[in-house]
Structure 1
């Protein structure tokens, strides 16, 4: 993939539902190895967190469509090698951004929490994670996300 054509977005919004895409991937070990490497990369590339989380949900039984998504993430990384996290020593103001989608997962209706915490201009913590229980309203999913971020800050 070192000479692949780069992409501007890591994942296509239209999943592939062709019969071939729904077959099991021929080498699950390779799928898990690449997905694990991308998981490690999210430590310095928070823009990949959500998409890597999606592919990691299928590590136990990946399909061809999941490997196609994995390859598109690698193509996105190829096109964005210049992106880095700035580490500055200017001001030491703590700022957090939190968001949640309400019932965003169409299969189990769980919401997804996302937050990022900055110290000045330096990103010091971030997370994207599915909430453990189903929220009854968008307000409830937002409060759960806020609680998770505040817990991280404390």
Structure 2
């Protein structure tokens, strides 16, 4: 039978008694088994994030990534008990205190937790022969205006490869390059040497900020969000860019920078669309906070456009707002339920500004502080 299968027989198949590593269904079968065992010892998967398991008391959390587990407990006794229970079912290896996972380095000192990807950045610089490049103060020049190349460059440029490497950085620990990566990604199939040089500028920026970390410490403050937009900034299709970020424990925990799906006819409409995206993320974070037994009644979102806030809060139809897609008005229901609260903040204080456009170096580094992205070497000097 096995010989027939090797020769491509279409009439015979093998029925497996258990999943084999490497098959399509193996990962699913492993997760089902792990899920069953975790529930047996008193953990439940979060409805907001199925890979986050929380104990009934809320004092223990297990994060799952395939067969890697991150266990967070309040006491050593709880940790040892969980480890003992899991060891009865699975062959396990205790790697000790979390310090490196999925390309991210972690440090916990005196109640301050930091996360950075300096090793990953160093590897990326070496991969693209940029380890000896000259550092620069911002990921993009504010004057940069790129357009799709009509003819693909004849040079063998690994542009898509570089954008892929930068994308993981932008979603993991480096919100400061999120806009640049989002902007450059739209040229993945129509790039030339000009786009390649713009992408290498991001590497030059990372070379000088390699040790920057997201730094978290207990503040007693709830989750707060910032939503911003840059109206009609794309010279190609005149769409606007949206950006939002959420701060907790003194640093960013969630952020996004992307082009809007439709053309906005006014600044207020672009800002309203940005608030909509931020509201969806706020609901997710609020649900996650509830699952983690956190006291998070509502999430406040700051915007620097009062007209957009009036559209979101008031059931009024005018000539300027009657064309806005009804899906954007779900914010009103969320506000009425008390899940979020909209508030005004000046443009100078808008943290999400860094996620909507390229900024000059002074403004860029000022907003890095608000995001909680700091240099570990500077902290040691202080």
Alpha-carbon distance, 1:16 to partner: 8.6
Q: How many residues align?
A: 149
Aligned residue number for residue 39 of structure 1 = 167
Secondary structure, counterpart of 1:90 in structure 2: coil
Structure 1 residues 147 and 36, CA gap change in structure 2 (3 angstroms)? same
Quote the Cα distance in structure 2 between the aligned partners of 1:81 and 1:113.
Answer: 26
Aligned residue number for residue 108 of structure 1 = 237
Structure 1 residues 67 and 153, CA gap change in structure 2 (3 angstroms)? same
Quote the Cα distance in structure 2 between the aligned partners of 1:117 and 1:16.
Answer: 28
Q: Is contact 1:102-1:135 (8 Å) kept?
A: yes
Give the one of 130, 140, 143 matched to 2:269: 140
Q: Is contact 1:25-1:62 (8 Å) kept?
A: no
Q: Is contact 1:7-1:75 (8 Å) kept?
A: yes
Q: Which moved more, 1:38-47 or 1:8-17?
A: 8-17
Q: Is contact 1:88-1:121 (8 Å) kept?
A: yes
Structure 1 residues 83 and 62, CA gap change in structure 2 (3 angstroms)? same
Q: Is contact 2:135-2:207 (8 Å) kept?
A: yes
Quote the Cα distance in structure 1 between the aligned partners of 2:265 and 2:215.
Answer: 38
Aligned residue number for residue 96 of structure 1 = 225
Quote the Cα distance in structure 2 between the aligned partners of 1:3 and 1:116.
Answer: 33
Q: Is contact 1:25-1:67 (8 Å) kept?
A: no
> Which structure 1 residue ranges, 5 or more long, are not aligned?
none
Which residues of 2 match residues 1-154 of structure 1 at below 5 A?
A: 1-15=130-144, 24=153, 26-28=155-157, 30-42=158-170, 43-154=172-283
Secondary structure, counterpart of 2:215 in structure 1: coil
Q: Is contact 1:85-1:122 (8 Å) kept?
A: yes
Alpha-carbon distance, 1:11 to partner: 1.7
C-alpha RMSD over aligned residues: 1.8
Structure 1 residues 141 and 16, CA gap change in structure 2 (3 angstroms)? closer
